[in-house]
Amino acid sequence: MAGRGGGSHLANSTLDGASRSRATTGTRETTKSASAGKTHPDTRHTPADDSEREVDEVAGQPVYYVNDGPKVVALTIDDGPSPVYTPQVLQVLATYGVTASFSMIGENVTYYPSVAREVADAGHTIVNHTWNHVNLTAMRTAQLSSEIDRTTDAIHSATGKLPSMFRAPYGAWSKTLLQYCATEKLLPLDWSVDPADWSRPGVGKIVKTIMNTTRTGSIILEHDGGGNRAQTVAALKIVIPRLLAEGYRFAIP
């Protein structure tokens, strides 16, 4: 999605010198624009039905919505794990009994396997988000498979679990990528609500965007990695109880 949300691959901007040297791109944040309230064909997916998931994959369509009943939404957290912000997000989710999906960068998982394991042990779902948050649209199968497969191996090594979903950085999908997801039985996960928290627009702005654009079936995009995510944590403390008070329930895509 040239210019859409998804964050950089660095876990946070407060890493020690050794961690910074391992992450060769530093603490850069990829330039993107908000896409809150974007519209897409209704490619909704019922997670409990494996046969339906298979149909979605074969059709080669990313999943932008969940379809699990009235006022059911999904919360997705991208670009971690971060030793600073992921535990804070987990604490907020535990406070309100909410389950989320964490799209993890393979490189970060290798740096912080205990944080990835903490996410899995708390009952959340881990999604493959490539090795280092690269745009895969220009890559051939052999190239993109390395990005995806290395990340799957890292997640499995850290948590003992294999991811069943894949999220493309920047929401940038290609036919080759979708075909690979189908081959590997990875559900191609996108989103429908983007508050652009990656750009740190202010807690109030993040909250307003989520509350104004979330509807039944929405998949909400937030970040625990890629930079300073203090605004995201603060916003989650506000929007989660508000959404719950409005009758929304949270599900895994």
The share of the chain scoring above pLDDT 90, in percent, equals 76
> Rounded mean pLDDT of 186-201?
98
**129 belongs to the catalytic site:** no
> Rounded mean pLDDT of 114-138?
97
**pLDDT score recorded for residue 186:** 97
**pLDDT score recorded for residue 60:** 72
Using the structure block, give the residue that is written with the tokens 């290609």: 174
Going by pLDDT thresholds of 50, 70 and 90, the confidence category of residue 134 is very high
Q: Per residue in 21-60, pLDDT tens? A: 223 222 223 323 333 333 333 332 333 333 333 334 344 7
Domains and CATH numbers, the chain: 17-23+44-250 (3.20.20.370)
Distance, CA of 69 to chain centre: 22
Alpha carbons within 13 A on the beta-carbon side of 247: 5
Catalytic residue among 9, 45, 56, 78: 78
Give 17 or 179, the one with higher predicted confidence: 179
Is the Cα dihedral 161, 162, 165, 169 positive or negative? positive
Are residues 62 and 178 in contact, defined by beta-carbon separation less than 8 angstroms? yes
Rounded to the nearest 5 percent, the helix, strand and coil shares of the chain are 40, 15, 45
The share of the chain scoring above pLDDT 70, in percent, equals 77
User: Could you say which DSSP state residue 189 is in?
Assistant: B
Show the CA angle centred on residue 188, arms to residues 171 and 60, nearest 5°: 100
Are residues 198 and 32 in contact, defined by beta-carbon separation less than 8 angstroms? yes
**153 belongs to the catalytic site:** no
* 156 vs 113: CA distance, rounded Å: 10
Query: What does pTM read for this prediction?
Result: 0.79
Two tokens at 241? 């109880």
**pLDDT score recorded for residue 152:** 98
